[in-house]
């Protein structure tokens, strides 16, 4: 009998072990053995297993284990670069990053961590994942932000002529998100939301956000940045579109949350389409002789120089006019997009070479295009490109060794 029980016990232990091995992607012989060396840093099997499980829970596209390895190698390189530059991860920055990430799932950081732990992922894995991103962002801003920030007005204007930017109504909101992940909490949150919806004071709303909100913005009193109304969820648009500054929206049913929005400011801006810019240009049509365009280019530095060249010639040889960018002639519109003020290009007009020069771009008289928004978008794009290029350089120079072979 004892032998039978012993055998059953062994069988049960083996079954449990097989189940554990199936659920765990790597062997459990030594969870903390090194698997990758990155310069002077080590990535352990435990870190790789944890990140793999974390990415699987997030349903990351591709092979979670391959992605996990690449992420951990890059993060080791990024941490080394940040430390060498004297950048340290602050606890406040880490907490804000964790709250922001968890807020995408309408959860607090603690709720998100609890959900991860229920699925076998440690809180430290989440902290490491978010912390690496925050540290790299701070490093890139500190090292490259100042040089990247100097975006010429001409580049912003040229971007507008090529891409445009959204217009319409934009709003400056504060938010309170109340939990509604169970019927009981939803009922309690609806009752609280009904009380908070009567707030008409910005400071009172901020205090309530700090006390009750589960959103990442709670630390800022619920304050959000400017946002175009038509980019908000439809139910939020309906709730805020008719508010006046100083009013709180009605409670809004969101996924696992009850939302309230306080309107701090609102403004209507013109669409940043090409038509929002006036283009001043000069077009000098040459006599068509060989080398005529090159001779003209050599004699003009600014648009007014064309007047000297055009003296005694028929009026149609020189065109100098200001038009909305969207109303330019086709041959001019295509060539002028890439030009800055006082830059010239050669085009063909009527079968002969013509010299085109951009004199100036300026907002149309009725335009309220927000150039700062366009500039910020360009800055973020530039920093993103710089960061990607810099990481590629660091990765190419790094010593990366696979220790599993």
Same domain, 56 and 154: yes
Same domain, 304 and 396: no
Q: DSSP states of 149-195 as a string?
A: H---HHHHHHHHHHT-B--EEEEEEEEEEEE-SSHHHHHHHHHHHHH
Number of compact structural domains in the chain: 4
Please determine, for residue 375, whether its predicted confidence score (pLDDT) is greater than 70: no
Same domain, 45 and 117: yes
Please determine, for residue 126, whether its predicted confidence score (pLDDT) is greater than 50: yes
CA dist 130 and 160 (Å) reads 34
Contact (CB, 8 A) for 167 and 270? yes
> Average pLDDT for residues 240-267, to the nearest whole number?
87
Q: How confident is the model at residue 6 (pLDDT cuts 50, 70, 90)?
A: very low
Same domain, 35 and 14: no
Which residue did the predictor score with more confidence, 118 or 341?
118
Sign of CA dihedral 265, 270, 274, 280: negative
CA dist 227 and 239 (Å) reads 15
Domain of 41: which CATH number?
1.10.4030.10
3-state helix, strand, coil in the chain (%, to 5): 55, 20, 30
Same domain, 218 and 316: no
Amino acid 227: pLDDT? 76
Amino acid 282: pLDDT? 93
Same domain, 261 and 299: no
Same domain, 252 and 297: no
Same domain, 282 and 344: yes
Task: Tell me, yes or no, if the pTM score tops 0.85.
Answer: no
Give backbone dihedrals phi and psi of 110, rounded to 5 degrees, phi first.
-65, -40
Same domain, 237 and 192: yes
CA dist 361 and 339 (Å) reads 10
Same domain, 36 and 159: yes
Amino acid 11: pLDDT? 37
- Tell me the pLDDT tens digit for each residue of 307-326: 999 999 999 999 999 888 77
Contact (CB, 8 A) for 285 and 349? yes
Please determine, for residue 366, whether its predicted confidence score (pLDDT) is greater than 90: no
Domain of 199: which CATH number?
3.10.50.40
Same domain, 138 and 174: no
Strand, coil or helix: 111:
helix
Please determine, for residue 152, whether its predicted confidence score (pLDDT) is greater than 60: no
Same domain, 157 and 51: yes
**Which range marks the domain in which residue 235 is found?**
168-269
């Amino acid at each position: 009998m004892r032998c039978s029980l012993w055998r059953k016990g062994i069988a049960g232990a083996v079954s449990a072990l097989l189940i554990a091995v199936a659920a765990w992607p790597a062997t459990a012989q030594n969870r903390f053995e090194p698997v990758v060396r990155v310069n002077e840093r080590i990535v352990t099997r435990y870190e790789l297993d944890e990140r793999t499980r974390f990415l699987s829970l997030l349903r990351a596209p591709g092979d979670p284990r391959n992605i996990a390895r690449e992420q951990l190698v890059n993060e080791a390189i990024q941490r080394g670069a940040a430390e060498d530059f004297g950048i340290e991860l602050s606890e406040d920055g880490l907490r804000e990053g964790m709250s922001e990430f968890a807020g995408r799932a309408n959860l607090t950081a603690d709720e998100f961590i609890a959900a991860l732990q229920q699925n076998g992922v440690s809180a430290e894995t989440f902290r490491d994942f978010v912390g690496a991103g925050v540290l790299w962002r701070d490093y890139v801003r500190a090292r490259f932000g100042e040089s990247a920030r100097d975006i010429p007005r001409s580049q912003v204007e040229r971007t507008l002529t090529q891409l445009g930017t959204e217009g319409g109504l934009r709003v400056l909101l504060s938010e309170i998100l109340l939990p509604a992940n169970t019927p009981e909490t939803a009922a309690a949150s609806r009752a609280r939301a009904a009380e908070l919806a009567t707030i008409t004071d910005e400071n009172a709303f901020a205090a309530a956000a700090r006390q009750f909100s589960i959103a990442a913005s709670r630390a800022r009193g619920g304050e959000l940045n400017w946002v175009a109304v038509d980019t908000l969820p439809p139910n939020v648009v309906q709730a805020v579109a008719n508010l006046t500054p100083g009013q709180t929206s009605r409670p809004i049913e969101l996924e696992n949350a009850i939302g309230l929005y306080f309107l701090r400011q609102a403004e209507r801006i013109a669409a940043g389409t090409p038509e929002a810019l006036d283009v001043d240009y000069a077009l000098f049509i040459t006599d068509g002789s060989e080398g005529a365009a090159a001779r003209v280019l050599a004699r003009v530095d600014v648009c007014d120089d064309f007047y000297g060249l055009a003296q005694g010639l028929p009026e149609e040889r020189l065109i100098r006019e200001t038009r909305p960018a969207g109303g330019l002639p086709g041959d001019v519109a295509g060539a002028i997009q890439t030009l800055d003020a006082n830059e010239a290009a050669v085009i063909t007009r009527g079968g002969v070479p013509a010299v085109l020069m951009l004199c100036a771009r300026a907002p149309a008289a009725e335009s309220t295009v927000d150039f700062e928004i366009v500039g910020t978008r360009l800055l973020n794009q530039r920093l993103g490109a710089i960061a990607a290029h810099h990481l590629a350089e660091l990765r190419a120079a790094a010593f990366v060794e696979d220790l599993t072979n």
